[in-house]
């Protein structure tokens, strides 16, 4: 199926202040899976003073890896005053049930679907290091604790002692507790949690930095703690490439490999093509090859339009009006 060229010049949206609450998206009413925060397709902010990309990420609740990939030509450690910084806007929802919590480790981002099926809340988070991987699979929240104490396992105490940073048997609640002020315990062997962070590691959100737990910004874990009850289902997945529909247009986004993993370009292309085929139900979909190659090269996590399907025609004709001879039958039409 041949489609129209999807070359679109996107407007520049200049924003001056970050959100003071969790990022909440309205779910498309037709079941599409691409959500958008700002009205314009692309969103930027301008640094009001010399700062770092990490400062901008903190303000807009983005992860460090995410904002660095979105701004690959900007100095991570020196954003000049007035320099534009690209923000995340569109997101493709992971391929999981739209219920409970989904953690997509590949994008260092969480999605919580409140009851009602009309919205999704999204949060940046940190995940387990290469040698302390966050496990995959389905689980649930079995306990919630405010102001938790941390009982570091012996393996972690040995690691810290070897680095000259000995840990006590119990770390009490407070600003230097790695669990932060709130923790959601998961039904997994090994005492895995979704929790906040201490002031020393707050800029590690959106990185592989933990001993397997999921770490969030203080404001975000507080919001999740208040919204997600005990018993909430949790899906932990690894989806470096996602596709999703929005208004008859198929979008694709791609993220870089996690530390310790390496997917070749051929493997990445094969995965993307398989997802496109499944979404379009076509063996050889006529997608935009140039855009796909760019997405798989940049790996910046920004959704890009790659394929357009023909929307259905109205199947009912007003009374008194007949279809002209030679007109297309009810079904699909090609836009001009």
Q: Give the active site residues.
A: 195, 213
Long-range contacts of 189-195 (CB under 8 A, 24+ apart): 190/135, 191/153, 192/134, 192/135, 194/101, 194/103, 194/110, 194/125, 194/141, 194/221, 194/224, 194/234, 195/148, 195/221
- Six-digit token pair at 152? 């570091």
26 bridge partner residues: 119
Is the separation of the CB atoms in 144 and 225 below 8 Å?
Answer: yes
Instruction: Name residues whose C-beta falls within 8 Å of residue 133's C-beta, 6 or more positions apart in sequence.
Output: 212
The CA distance from 325 to 322, in Å, is 9
Classified as helix, coil or strand, 198 is coil
- Six-digit token pair at 58? 């903190």
State which H helix or E strand residue 268 sits in.
helix 265-280
Q: How far is CA 155 from CA 2, 9, 73, 104, in A?
A: 58, 53, 40, 27
Radius of gyration of the chain (CA): 22
To which residue do tokens 């530390």 refer? 259
CA atoms within 13 A on the CB side of 291: 19
- Six-digit token pair at 323? 């279809």
């Amino acid at each position: 199926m041949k489609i129209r060229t999807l070359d679109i010049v996107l407007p520049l949206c200049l924003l001056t202040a970050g959100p003071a609450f969790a990022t909440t998206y309205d779910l498309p009413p037709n079941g599409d899976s691409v959500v958008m925060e700002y009205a314009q397709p692309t969103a930027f902010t301008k640094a009001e003073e010399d700062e770092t990309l990490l400062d901008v990420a903190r303000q807009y609740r983005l992860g460090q890896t995410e904002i660095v990939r979105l701004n690959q030509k900007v100095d991570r450690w020196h954003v000049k005053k007035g320099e534009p910084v690209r923000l995340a806007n569109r997101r493709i929802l992971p391929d999981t049930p739209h219920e409970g919590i989904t953690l997509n480790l590949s994008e260092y981002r969480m999605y919580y679907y409140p009851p009602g099926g009309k919205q999704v809340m999204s949060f940046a988070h940190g995940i387990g290091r290469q040698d302390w991987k966050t496990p995959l699979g389905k689980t649930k929240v079995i306990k919630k604790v405010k102001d938790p104490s941390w009982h570091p396992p012996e393996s972690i105490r040995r690691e810290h002692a070897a680095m000259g940073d000995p840990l006590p048997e119990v770390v009490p609640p407070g600003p230097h507790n790695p669990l932060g002020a709130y923790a959601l315990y998961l039904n997994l062997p090994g005492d895995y949690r979704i929790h906040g962070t201490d002031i020393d590691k707050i800029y590690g959100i959106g990185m592989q930095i933990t001993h397997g737990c999921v770490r969030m910004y203080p404001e975000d874990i507080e919001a999740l703690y208040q919204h997600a009850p005990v018993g909430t289902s949790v899906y932990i997945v690894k989806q470096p490439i996602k596709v999703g529909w929005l208004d008859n247009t198929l979008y694709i986004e791609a993220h870089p490999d996690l530390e310790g993993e390496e997917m070749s370009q051929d493997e990445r292309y094969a995965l993307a093509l398989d997802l496109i085929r499944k979404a379009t139900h076509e063996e050889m979909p006529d997608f935009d090859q140039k855009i796909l190659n760019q997405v798989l090269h940049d790996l910046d996590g920004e959704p890009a339009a790659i394929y357009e399907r023909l929307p259905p025609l109205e199947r009912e004709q007003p009374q008194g009006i007949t279809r002209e001879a030679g007109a297309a039958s009810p079904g699909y039409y090609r836009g001009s």
